[in-house]
Copies of this chain bind each other. A is one copy, B any other.
């Protein structure tokens, strides 16, 4: 009667690689596929990068992880339960700050009311200039 493993509950096989990818994403907060691979290699040195990519996609399909776009390049992955903030990326210094989703509540409502658009404010970063760079 022990509960099923969360991966089994999602209909996925439990492999060491998959489990390690998931816990790497959880422990890293934000991470690129490359960073996830590095983390996983601490305990499972042989993991292939394509296995990481495939598992990130699989885990995303079942809703355990998701990705955001913080810059011009590739996506960064988050644990699903942890994505509760906006990303503020500074075009000048490159820093990535966080802000609570509530900061966008009014914006989300405007888009819903006026355009029928249901917004996910976390998927793309918010771009601009951070406080430190705005000041001279």
Are A72 and B75 in contact, with the CB atoms below 8 A?
yes
Docked Cα-Cα span, A131 to B118, in Å, equals: 7
**Interface residue? A128 (CB, 8 A):** yes
Count copies of this chain in the complex. Answer: 2
Instruction: Convert A93-136 into 0s and 1s, putting 1 for each residue whose CB lies closer than 8 angstroms to a CB of B.
Output: 00001010001101100110011111111011111111100110
Across the interface, do A91 and B114 meet the contact criterion of CB distance under 8 Å? no
Known: A69-B72, A126-B124. A116 touches B131 (CB 8 A): yes
Asked whether B110 lies within 8 Å of A103 as measured between CB atoms, the reply is yes
CB distance from A96 to the nearest CB of B (A): 11
Question: Is A59 interfacial (CB 8 A cutoff)?
Answer: no
A36 at the interface (CB under 8 A from B): no
- Tell me the chain A residues, 60-116 only, with Cβ under 8 Å from chain B: 69, 72, 75, 88, 90-91, 97, 99, 103-104, 106-107, 110-111, 114-116
Q: Which chain A residues have a beta carbon within 8 Å of chain B's beta carbons?
A: 69, 72, 75, 88, 90-91, 97, 99, 103-104, 106-107, 110-111, 114-121, 123-131, 134-135
